[in-house]
Structure 1
Amino acid sequence: MSLKKSIILIVLVLLLDQISKIYIKTHFKLQESVEVFSWFQIYFIENDGMAWGTKISDFISFISERSAKIILTLFRVVAIFGIGYWLYDSTNKKATKTLIVAVALIFAGALGNIIDSVFYGVLFDDSFSQVAQFLPEGGGYDTFLHGRVVDMLYFPLFEIDLPEWMPFYGGKRFNFFEPVFNIADVAISTGFVMLIVFNKQAFSKKEA
């Protein structure tokens, strides 16, 4: 698979990701939802941390949330350069199509979420009790590098009451699948699953 084709894949994923995020941001209030099916909702939330909303400041208490946000965003920017080089090197070395597609999906997803983190704070006003505007006259809801990632895909497939005897979570209500995510997250997850499930196809003996 050529570098040109992988770039086309990246652009398509980025377009789907950003169009969906901009639409949600400019048409939904924060935590507003629309039920598509009983097991699928469009549910608008914003995430200013890592996966599942985790923040660096949750682990390192002496770092403020704003400083942790900058560190996380800069780390993502550095990581995207590393993934980009991996993709470029893989195409140059004629790596397997499985590997190149997987890395391209991971790159596209990571870049999609970086765009939110870097630019959305200055491009939109906040979504609390209102629908956000693009390039508002009064400025955005935060500064450069302090944007929040837009999530909207929610699959509450089923809920059950956990038995009392179960350690830690006994007697609590369990919702599967609870996390809310976006198209960029889907691309990243798909890329990683491809590398794990199709490991032998992705990495030839020569590359190993």
Structure 2
Amino acid sequence: MALYESIEIASWFKIYFVENNGMAFGIEVIGKLFLSLFRIVAVGFIGYYLYLLVKKNFTHGYIASIALILAGAIGNIIDSVFYGEIFTASYPGHVASMVPFGNGYSSWLHGKVVDMFYFPLIEGTFPQWLPIWGGEDFLFFRPIFNFADSAITIGIALLLIFYRKTLTETMQKPNE
């Protein structure tokens, strides 16, 4: 697919090809190299934490939640590390092509992350009488994301919904 090209699966679900430099859902806060290195270090810590959890026979649900976060982080790292090395630049109307390693559009650790899932669930216009936004268009669920972002989000949601107490306890005494 070319950059910004989309395929409509349903009116509320589209495969929409975008690339981003940042974190989950295209958020950009800091430099790309720092973000890539931070992700790699974070994956190391999460992997070690997961190892300790398995060793201590924590509940399967808690371990699965942490594993989802780890898997999503690894997926985004793979994109970030290698995508720029093995693909030509994407732009509207042009499909990127795979090239020999090192001949891509960017250097190692500086690649973009591909996002593709888009769920424009509710589209409409705010009523005129509404202060500030009256008459403006709105779209509920604007973010475009990838499978790795989903894994991270689901893992965090499961932790917050079902394992908040466990998470707090393990963060206070992780080596006991």
TM bracket, shorter-chain basis: 0.7 to 0.9
- 8 A contact 1:125–1:136 mirrored in 2: no
Q: 1:94 Cα shift?
A: 0.5
* Structure 1 residue aligned with 2:22: 49
> Are the structure 2 counterparts of residues 102 and 165 from structure 1 closer, same or farther at C-alpha, using a change threshold of 3 Å?
same
Deviation at 1:49, TM superposition (A): 1.2
Q: Following the alignment from structure 1 to structure 2, what is the Cα–Cα distance between the partners of residues 166 and 199?
A: 39
Establish whether residue 79 from structure 1 lines up as the match of residue 42 from structure 2. yes
Aligned AA for 1:123? I
Cα 1:93–1:40 shift into 2, 3 Å: same
Is 1:148 the counterpart of 2:112 in the alignment? Answer: yes
Percent identity over paired residues:
50
- Amino acid paired to 1:130: H
Say whether residues 1:132 and 2:96 are aligned partners: yes
Segments of 4+ in structure 1 off by > 6 A?
A: none
CA separation in 1, counterparts of 2:169 and 2:28?
A: 39
RMSD over aligned Cα atoms? 2.3
Work out which of the residue numbers 4, 7, 10 in structure 2 matches 1:37.
10
Point out where structure 1 has 5 or more consecutive residues left out of the alignment: 1-27, 58-67
Q: In the alignment, what sits opposite 2:139?
A: 175
Q: Distance in 2 between matches of 1:110 and 1:184?
A: 7
The alpha carbon displacement at 1:38 in A equals 1.0
Instruction: State whether residues 85 and 102 of structure 2, in contact with CA within 8 Å, keep that contact through their aligned partners in structure 1.
Output: no
1:69-124 C-alpha deviation (Å, 9 max, x unpaired) = 11111111111111111111100010111110000000000000011111111111
Deviates more, 1:124-133 or 1:110-119: 124-133
Question: Per the alignment, in what secondary structure is the counterpart of residue 33 of structure 2?
Answer: helix
The residue type paired with residue 124 of structure 2 is: I
TM-score, scaled relative to structure 1: 0.75
Aligned length: 170
Point out where structure 2 has 5 or more consecutive residues left out of the alignment: none
Q: In the alignment, does 2:125 pair up with 1:161? A: yes
**Deviation for aligned residue 1:170:** 3.7
Q: 1:205 to 1:172 in 2, by over 3 A?
A: closer
The CA deviation at 1:130 is 1.4
In the alignment, residue 150 of structure 1 is paired with which amino acid? V
Structure 1 window deviating more from structure 2 (132-141 vs 73-82): it is: 132-141
TM-score, normalised with respect to structure 2:
0.87
Separation in 2, partners of 1:161, 1:114: 38
- C-alpha change, 1:167 and 1:99, in structure 2 (3 Å) is farther
| Structure 1 or 2: more helix by fraction | 1
